[in-house]
């Protein structure tokens, strides 16, 4: 089971929007050195919505080959088409990914029975560990705890990224699933609380910028060190807030560009961070000595 800090990695791009493979490798090296537990690629933060299918598969394959087993690679392969999700998940499995992250189907607004059937179809079709991803703020559909518990019984479905930020729901889910099913936070502001309640890690946007601190937070919280986890969390709080002043991944890509790690490239319909907000990110970076 993968536990700890799982970075929701950005997909670096040149200013013209083309993929920047050299910058991607720099980011992977940074996370390997900083104690990140796993690399999450081609998710929301990785701009999966605007990657072509060939690009999507190429990013997964490049990360797997470059990391070469030094860290697990979790590939985002969800879609609002079950057939497309199976296609992407199959490609990730063939590329050697360690697990896949599958978002609740968006825009279609399926029922709970439809969500269940969607995830079961993927789990039946592809032999790879699969992590569900519930983010109702983006999807307009919400994976209910009852449905998640039922899905957790499938041997290929091994965890869930809970990005609801709802601690009551998160605690209930942790209590209801078995020890071999991981509940991860997908919400940086509430991640510490969920891990102290038994969550197995955090799929983190903030980890892009401060991978070592996020790894330390996850270790402390999963060890039950409330005071230590609270101290680290407080050090990152201003940065975490700044990284969501515009829709993700706009601020985090701007922050990484300011750090000299990537160019400012981002794909329409997203634009680089509004000029009026850039000082907020700069101040947050200074607050964590970056």
Q: Which of 122, 64, 52 is nearest to 95 (CA)?
A: 64
Tokens 């470059």 sit at which residue?
Answer: 66
Catalytic-role residue among 116, 161, 184, 253:
161
* CA of residue 233 relative to chain centroid, distance: 18
Six-digit token string for 272: 């680089």
Q: Is 42 annotated as contributing to ligand binding?
A: no
d(CA 79, CA 61): 18
Exposure on the CB side of residue 149, measured as CA atoms within 13 A: 13
Q: Which of 29, 85, 25, 22 is nearest to 53 (CA)?
A: 85
Cβ atoms of 265 and 20 within 8 Å: the answer is yes
Judge whether 133 counts as a catalytic residue: yes
230: phi then psi, degrees, rounded to nearest 5: -65, -40
Partnered with residue 8 across adjacent β-strands are 40
Judge whether 106 counts as a catalytic residue: no
Catalytic-role residue among 133, 184, 212, 276:
133
Six-digit token string for 134: 């519930």
**3-state DSSP helix/strand/coil % of the chain, to nearest 5:** 50, 15, 35
Residue 89: in which H helix or E strand, if any?
helix 82-95
Q: Is 45 annotated as contributing to ligand binding?
A: yes
Annotated binding site: 45, 203
Residues with active-site annotation? 133, 161
For the annotated binding site for pyruvate, the residues are: 45, 203
């Amino acid at each position: 089971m993968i536990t700890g800090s799982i970075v929701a990695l950005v997909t670096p791009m040149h200013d013209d929007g083309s993929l920047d493979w050299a910058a991607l490798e720099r980011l992977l090296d940074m996370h390997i050195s900083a104690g990140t537990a796993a690399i999450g690629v081609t998710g929301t933060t990785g701009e999966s919505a605007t990657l072509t299918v060939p690009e999507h598969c190429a990013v997964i394959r490049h990360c797997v080959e470059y990391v070469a087993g030094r860290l697990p690679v979790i590939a985002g392969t969800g879609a609002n088409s079950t057939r497309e999700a199976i296609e992407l998940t199959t490609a990730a499995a063939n590329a050697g990914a360690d697990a896949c992250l599958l978002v609740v189907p968006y825009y279609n607004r399926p029922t709970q029975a439809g969500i269940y059937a969607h995830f079961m179809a993927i789990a039946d079709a592809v032999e790879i560990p699969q992590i569900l991803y519930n983010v109702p703020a983006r999807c307009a559909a919400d994976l209910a705890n009852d449905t998640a518990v039922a899905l957790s019984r499938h041997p290929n479905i091994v965890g869930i990224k809970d990005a609801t930020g709802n601690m009551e729901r998160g605690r209930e889910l942790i209590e209801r699933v078995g020890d071999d099913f991981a509940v991860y936070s997908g919400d940086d502001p509430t991640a510490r609380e969920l891990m102290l309640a038994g969550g197995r890690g955090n799929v983190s946007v903030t980890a892009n910028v401060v991978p070592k601190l996020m790894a330390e937070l996850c270790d402390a919280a999963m060890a039950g060190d409330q005071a230590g986890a609270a101290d680290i969390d407080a050090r990152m709080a201003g940065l975490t807030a700044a990284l969501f002043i515009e829709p993700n991944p706009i601020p985090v890509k701007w922050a990484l560009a300011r750090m000299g790690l990537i160019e400012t490239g981002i794909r329409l319909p997203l634009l680089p961070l509004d000029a009026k907000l850039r000082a907020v990110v700069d101040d947050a970076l200074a607050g964590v000595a970056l």
